[in-house]
Amino acid sequence: MRIAAPINNNNLKVARELKKVAEVRNMENIRARFTIVDSNQIMFMLLDDEKFHPNYDIGVWINTEFFASALEQMFDLAWKEMKQVK
């Protein structure tokens, strides 16, 4: 499992805990929230969590190998540029 998230002093402890079960990297310049499951399903959130209250958050789950594979390839490229959490 790979987790990319904006890491700062407020969540560094949690990121280090997650390193016990996943690879964790700092995603500084990308603002997105999504999950790719088994290279064929995607869950992505539609609203900016900095602008909307969490009660109004909404997500879409898509079961499509083609789109999931394409998004995974783009994520892999970005992943190489992200810094590991230490």
Which domains, and CATH codes, for the chain? 2-84 (3.30.870.10)
Contact status, residue 64 vs residue 42, Cβ threshold 8 Å: yes
Please say if the pLDDT value at position 31 is more than 90: no
Measured distance CA(13)–CA(15) in Å, rounded: 5
**What's the pLDDT at 3?**
95
Other CB atoms within 10 Å distance of the CB of residue 25? 20
> pLDDT tier at 56 (50, 70, 90 boundaries)?
very high
Asked if the model's pLDDT at residue 10 lies above 90, the reply is yes
- Band of the pLDDT at 50, cuts 50, 70, 90? confident
pLDDT band at 70 (very low <50, low <70, confident <90, very high): very high
pTM score, whole prediction: 0.82
